[in-house]
């Protein structure tokens, strides 16, 4: 990869190009055993479905800002995408959100069956750790750190804890601080991994890493709130997924209303941008263009 984060010519084209490279790498990394063609098909169905690859992009572009190893960032970002996809497969199951549509196509358990979907999710989780283990562009110590970061993001301090809290979310009187904590777990944790993986690959110092953590926290909260807004304001075709799964739950949208939620979203994005500035990221950087594209609300009519 030759693109750097400070290049400003045709940013949309450059983002599309990097996303295409992520998709190619995901394809290369996800090829499984010939003995399990149905499992391979389920993995490809979910992992290679059209997506914005926001987490890998953040990892790659932040690494590029500090002249880190882009190949290492690519694989670290692909590991995040594998975990993210696994979490979507599980989240869509009948015992969870019971969704029919994801990324504009049938959910994995409907396209195949529940047992294949579960096994595809487990295979993706397992493969993510294998990808990190084979990232030989960085030191063994860095690979151990990335493994630790991913383990925390996935486990009882991250996605799994957040999913449990979300399933138990029946207290519509919960305050905003509680909802933010749930959002930080179920969504923010994997952003933490993606951003801190870049910090580790670039060997950033403690102060820089703290700015990365603040950026990650704010962008994760913003991402979840945007998702909640889309769930309420968009059709299934516009959103590309099953909607109205948060009715009856305590969400920031339910607490703040549409106007208040959009104000809160702008606050998260402002704080994330301030963290990037403190980190020394240029105003015309590609990472900022990527964030702007990700958080542009489509016309909902």
Tell me: pLDDT of 6 over 50. no
Could you give the CA distance from residue 2 to residue 10 in angstroms, rounded to a whole number? 15
Q: Which tops the pLDDT comparison, 243 or 241?
A: 241
For the segment 68-94, the average pLDDT, to the nearest whole number, is: 97
Q: If residue 10 lies in a helix (H) or strand (E), which one and from where to where? A: none
The reported pTM is 0.91
What residue has token string 């970061």? Answer: 149
Structure confidence at residue 1 (pLDDT)? 45
Could you give the CA distance from residue 150 to residue 159 in angstroms, rounded to a whole number? 10
For the segment 266-282, the average pLDDT, to the nearest whole number, is: 97
Structure confidence at residue 300 (pLDDT)? 44
Least confident segment among 31-45, 80-94, 122-136 = 31-45
Q: Which tops the pLDDT comparison, 248 or 75?
A: 75
Sign of CA dihedral 86, 37, 77, 226: negative
Q: Give the tens place of pLDDT for each residue, 171-219.
A: 666 789 999 999 999 999 999 999 999 999 999 999 999 999 999 999 9
The percent of residues in the chain predicted with pLDDT above 70, rounded, is 90
For the segment 12-19, the average pLDDT, to the nearest whole number, is: 91
DSSP letter at 234 equals S
Ordered structural domains, the chain, with CATH: 11-294 (1.10.600.10)
Least confident segment among 92-106, 134-148, 236-250, 253-267 = 236-250
Structure confidence at residue 167 (pLDDT)? 84
- Structure confidence at residue 3 as a pLDDT band (50, 70, 90): very low
Distance between start and end Cα atoms, the chain: 39
Give the pair of three-digit tokens for residue 101. Answer: 């549509």
Give the pair of three-digit tokens for residue 81. Answer: 């995408």
Tell me: pLDDT of 238 over 60. yes
Q: Which tops the pLDDT comparison, 236 or 253?
A: 253
Tell me: pLDDT of 9 over 70. no
Q: Do residues 232 and 178 touch, judged by C-beta distance below 8 A?
A: no
Q: Do residues 159 and 80 touch, judged by C-beta distance below 8 A?
A: no
For the segment 286-297, the average pLDDT, to the nearest whole number, is: 92
Q: Do residues 284 and 8 touch, judged by C-beta distance below 8 A?
A: yes
Could you give the CA distance from residue 144 to residue 158 in angstroms, rounded to a whole number? 18
Tell me: pLDDT of 298 over 70. no
For the segment 32-49, the average pLDDT, to the nearest whole number, is: 93
Q: Which of 175, 64, 77, 182 is nearest to 132 (CA)?
A: 77
Tell me: pLDDT of 8 over 60. no
Exposure string over 94-106, b if 16+ CB within 10 A, otherwise e: eeebebebbbeeb
Tell me: pLDDT of 290 over 90. yes
Could you give the CA distance from residue 293 to residue 297 in angstroms, rounded to a whole number? 9
Give the pair of three-digit tokens for residue 191. Answer: 């952003």
Could you give the CA distance from residue 97 to residue 112 in angstroms, rounded to a whole number? 17
Could you give the CA distance from residue 254 to residue 176 in angstroms, rounded to a whole number? 10
Structure confidence at residue 4 (pLDDT)? 46
């Amino acid at each position: 990869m030759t693109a750097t984060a400070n290049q400003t010519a045709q940013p949309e084209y450059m983002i599309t190009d990097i996303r295409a490279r992520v998709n190619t790498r995901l394809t290369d990394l996800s090829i499984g055993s010939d003995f399990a063609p149905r499992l391979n098909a389920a993995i490809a169905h979910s992992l290679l479905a059209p997506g914005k690859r926001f987490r890998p992009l953040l990892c790659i572009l932040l690494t590029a800002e500090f002249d880190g190893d882009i190949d290492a960032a690519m694989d670290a970002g692909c590991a995040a995408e594998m975990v993210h996809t696994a979490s979507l497969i599980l989240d869509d199951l009948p015992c969870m959100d019971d969704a029919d549509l994801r990324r504009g196509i049938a959910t994995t358990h409907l396209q195949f069956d529940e047992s294949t979907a579960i096994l595809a999710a487990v295979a993706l989780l397992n493969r993510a750790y294998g990808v990190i283990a084979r990232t030989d562009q960085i030191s063994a110590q860095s690979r151990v750190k990335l493994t630790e970061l991913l383990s925390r993001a996935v486990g009882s301090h991250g996605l799994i804890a957040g999913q449990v809290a979300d399933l138990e979310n029946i207290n519509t009187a919960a305050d905003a601080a509680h909802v933010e904590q749930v959002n930080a777990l179920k969504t923010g944790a994997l952003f933490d991994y993606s951003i801190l993986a870049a910090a580790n690959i670039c060997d950033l110092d403690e102060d820089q890493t703290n700015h990365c953590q603040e950026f990650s926290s704010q962008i994760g909260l913003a991402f979840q709130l945007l998702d909640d807004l889309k769930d309420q304001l968009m059709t299934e075709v516009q959103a590309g997924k099953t909607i109205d799964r948060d009715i009856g739950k305590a969400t920031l949208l339910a607490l703040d209303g549409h106007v208040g939620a959009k104000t809160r979203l702008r606050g998260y994005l402002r704080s994330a941008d301030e963290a990037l500035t403190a980190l020394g990221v240029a105003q015309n950087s590609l990472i900022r263009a990527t964030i702007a594209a990700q958080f542009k609300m489509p016309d909902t009519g």
